[in-house]
Amino acid sequence: MPPVVRFAPSPTGYIHIGNIRTALLNWCVTKRAGGRFILRYDDTDTARSRQEYADAIAVDLAWLGMVPDVQARQSERMALYDAAAARLREAGRLYPCYETEEELERRRTLQKARGLPPVYDRAALRLTAEQKAAMEAEGRRPHWRFLLNHRIVEWQDGVRGPAHVDTASLSDPVLIRADGGYLYTLPSVVDDIDLGVTHIIRGEDHVTNTAVQIEIFEALGGSVPAFAHHNLLTTVSGEGLSKRSGALSIGSLREAGFEPMAVASLAVLTGTAEAVRPIATLQDLAALVDLSRISRAPARFDPAEIETLNAKLLHETAYADVSQRLSALGVGGGEAFWLAVRSNLVRLADAKTWWDVVRGPVAKGEQDREFLHRAASLLPAEPWDENTWGAWTQAVKDATGAKGKALFMPLRQALTGLDHGPELKALLPLIGRERALARLGA
């Protein structure tokens, strides 16, 4: 059966390169096998979830070429969670607790002082009906915990290999807050069962959650998906990425002019056994993804690498793939111009700089006017092609004796206003004889 995966962001901020790493790994795994990709907005946190963030997530995925096969919002699926909670209560796996956060914190402090792990002691299970009624009469409202089986939960992790967690070392997790709101865990499992998710690929910070969720899958009678926990991206200094900080958000990388496949290539290949390099398409990238070849160590993400990958990607891009975008930038010259300048680009928008050089005017510095006048007199008649530059500079060399930098640099500076840039054998025919004569001062 083709895999069914899900990317489940909370729309509480703009997603960053670390979030998109998870989305891309899911996409690559499922699309290579002809499966389905689900975008599920985990928006049960009504206080922080915002529509503008959900809209931005959809834009970011589309920019990278990931269009979901199915979309879902947890805020529209509350009846499913209520039904699941009722089943767990009836089965004795969901029980009410009345401690305040302050009381729980005091209890954890005391356990630590005694050298014990700060695990919830299940005191609520010992409450009588009268004690519960008395607490509710005081105005206390219960939060609800899932009763773990206190066993070793094992699974074959797609990245980490054989994995296990002893749930006896964990506190029974709170699934429902005192205000009736659901935490992440129960809605996630219910949705995975209902939507037929077969593979859960996510960050390694969820490893412990996996044991808890497997027990909930089993308690609800659902099929347990295959799990894979990839390493996390960090900054160069080793710090984690956060949606709240806005650092390295996909929107900011797009606005900075980076190509989507440069971002995707770096997000996916960093921290794997594959060499980090620009990959032309998502299909090609998917062919490289092997979860078992992802490193167990955190992957340090260097934004400077995007510049390098972006440049390499543009240097290999065909004109047909950028022609419309060049037109939108006001860049003309067709394929001849693109082939002349692409090896000098870091971002596509840089092409406008070189188009302005072709069309002029260009800056004029201190120039040897006698040398330039002599060079202008030797300009051949049009039409020009890529051989014109070589023939002309040879004639200037023969006439003036100038050679090397003394020959080429004054000509480049006069023709482009710069001391660097694309090869003039390709650029000169685009500049044309009339503009060249004017810039040489003739």
**Where does the pLDDT of residue 183 fall: very low under 50, low under 70, confident under 90, or very high at 90 and above?**
very high
Query: Does residue 323 carry a pLDDT above 70?
Result: yes
Instruction: Give Cα 96 to chain centroid, integer Å.
Output: 40
Share of the chain above pLDDT 90, in %: 91
pLDDT at site 144: 98
| 258/351 same-domain check | no
Angle, CA 395 vertex, CA 390 and CA 397 arms, to 5°:
95
Ramachandran region, residue 122 (left: φ > 0; alpha: ψ -120 to 50; beta: rest): left
Q: Is position 354 within any domain?
A: yes
pLDDT at site 302: 87
| 355/403 same-domain check | no
pLDDT tens-place string over residues 72-111: 999 999 999 999 999 999 999 999 999 999 999 999 999 9
| 224/270 same-domain check | yes
Q: Are 146 and 212 in contact (CB under 8 A)?
A: yes
Query: Does residue 245 carry a pLDDT above 60?
Result: no
pLDDT at site 364: 83
Q: Which amino acid is at 24?
A: L
The total of structural domains in the chain comes to 3
Q: Is position 144 within any domain?
A: no
Cα–Cα dist 279/405, whole Å: 37
Cα–Cα dist 408/427, whole Å: 14
Average of pLDDT values for 411-434?
Answer: 96
Query: Does residue 342 carry a pLDDT above 80?
Result: yes
| 434/418 same-domain check | yes
Cα–Cα dist 248/236, whole Å: 12
pLDDT at site 244: 59
Residue whose C-alpha is closest to residue 228's, from 309, 298, 290, 153? 290
| 11/35 same-domain check | yes
Cα torsion 81, 82, 83, 89: sign = positive
The residue range of the domain holding 332 is 319-359
Q: How far, in Å, are 63, 241, 262, 290, 310 from residue 276 at the CA level?
A: 21, 20, 10, 14, 12
Last residue of a domain, one of 359, 389, 417: 359
Q: Is position 40 within any domain?
A: yes
| 237/310 same-domain check | yes
State how beta strands 299-300 and 233-234 pair. parallel
Query: Does residue 271 carry a pLDDT above 60?
Result: yes
Last residue of a domain, one of 316, 350, 380: 316
**132 annotated as a binding-site residue:** no
Report the Cα–Cα distance between both ends of the chain, in Å, rounded.
74
| 296/353 same-domain check | no
Share of the chain above pLDDT 70, in %: 98
| 199/340 same-domain check | no
pLDDT tens-place string over residues 357-405: 999 999 887 889 999 999 999 999 999 999 999 999 999 999 999 999 9
Average of pLDDT values for 210-224?
Answer: 98
Q: Is position 113 within any domain?
A: no
Supply the CATH number for residue 83's domain: 3.40.50.620
| Span of 155-159, 246-250, 399-403 with lowest mean pLDDT | 246-250
Cα–Cα dist 76/43, whole Å: 9
Q: Are 145 and 97 in contact (CB under 8 A)?
A: yes
Cα–Cα dist 80/299, whole Å: 37
Cα–Cα dist 185/44, whole Å: 11
Mean pLDDT of the chain: 95
Cα–Cα dist 16/56, whole Å: 11
Q: Is position 223 within any domain?
A: yes
State how beta strands 161-166 and 174-176 pair. unpaired
Last residue of a domain, one of 338, 359, 380: 359
Cα–Cα dist 127/118, whole Å: 21
pLDDT at site 228: 98
pLDDT greater at residue 27 or residue 363: 27
Who contacts 109 (Cβ-Cβ below 8 Å, separation ≥6)?
none
Q: Is position 240 within any domain?
A: yes
Residue whose C-alpha is closest to residue 392's, from 334, 341, 338, 431? 431
